[in-house]
Structure 1
Amino acid sequence: MRKLSVSVLIVASAAFAATLGQVEARPYGPRHAPFERICAERGGPTHRPEMAALLAEYLDLNDAQKAAFKPFHDARKKSLEDAKAALCSNKPDLTSFEARLVFGQNLLEARLTALKAENPLLIAFYNSLDDRQKAKFDRFRERRGQE
């Protein structure tokens, strides 16, 4: 039994070491290239104005509700533009662990700033909806993987 445990430990260590070598060989795969993903000309975070039109049609918004949605929509656009400008103004050297942590922190701080600007406006819009529209809105967000 003891030989089996030691053998399992050796095999697990060898497998772990093999994966470390692979990570060093290609450190910036799609999941490990945050700067390229965020700061790409296309494919990075975008405003997507067509989503606003889809949402307005899906929820059958009246004029007052459209007016409540516009400030949120504008704040979202500005937040995305500001975050992208701040994060992408100069390409960081992400070869060190510390630099990746700093970039991750900057990314989270940009998202927090955006949420602080957007959330009160989104709540005001959501509160302008009737119960049927709120249920549809909740389903719309769930299908898109948002909280």
Structure 2
Amino acid sequence: MRKLKVLALIVACVTFASPLVQAEAAPKVDSTIERLCSERTPLSNEGAFADWLARRLDLNDAQKATFEEFQAARAKALADSKTKLCASKPDLSTFEGRLIFGQDFYAARLDALKLENPKLIAFYKSLDARQQKKFERIRDQLHRR
């Protein structure tokens, strides 16, 4: 009899907890889309980092120009991908809708990388060996976080 009561309690907990978990998951998805599609630019906090990086690498004028070209390409690529993703509000209430949005998100990110990577490679090649070492060390430290 005791096992039956414990089993009934477990079934009741699972039955009532399931809708609560689903209800809590929905706002996170909506807030993610709202944050992604907000008016805030994706690079709003990167200006200070770019200035810090330029000082840290001790860039000359030609390198600064190449770095600014990369930053402009990155900003345009990210703005284009944001526009593409947020043109119509995705339906994330279904599993299929979330998969389609995920696919669109990664496709937009890939398109952005294709636009910005040539400029980043050109900037990297403009650095001398000492600067490249510093750049790689900084990049590695950022990827560990």
Bin of the TM-score, shorter chain as denominator length: 0.7 to 0.9
**Corresponding letter in the other structure for 1:120:** P
Cα shift readout 1:58-85 (whole Å, capped 9, x = no counterpart): 1000011112212211100101111111
The TM-score, its normalising length taken from structure 2, stands at: 0.76
- TM-score computed with the length of structure 1 as normaliser: 0.75
Percent identity among equivalent residues?
49
CA distance in 1, matches of 2:86, 2:30: 16
Shift of 1:122: 0.5
In structure 2, C-alpha distance between the alignment counterparts of 1:39 and 1:114, rounded to whole Å: 16
For structure 1, list consecutive stretches of 5 or more residues without a partner in the other structure.
1-9
Counterpart for residue 128 of structure 2: 130
Specify whether residues 144 and 29 from structure 1 end up closer, same or farther in structure 2 by C-alpha distance, changes over 3 A only.
farther
86-95 or 116-125, which deviates more: 86-95
Amino acid at match of 1:72: F
Contact 2:63 2:123 in 1 (8 A): yes
Query: Structure 1: how far apart are the matches of 2:26 and 2:131?
Result: 43
Of the structure 1 ranges 25-34 and 71-80, higher mean CA displacement relative to structure 2 is found in 25-34
Give the structure with the higher percent helix.
2
Alignment of 1:1-147 (within 5 A): 22-28=20-26, 30=28, 33-42=31-40, 45-47=42-44, 48-145=46-143
Rounded to whole Å, the distance in 2 between the matches of 1:127 and 1:21 is 54
Uncovered stretches (5+) of structure 2, i.e. residues with no partner = 1-6
Question: What is the aligned length?
Answer: 132
Match of 1:61, SS state, is coil
Output one character per residue of 1:91-114: Cα deviation in whole Å (capped at 9) or x when no partner.
222100111111111110110001
Root-mean-square deviation over aligned CA pairs: 2.6
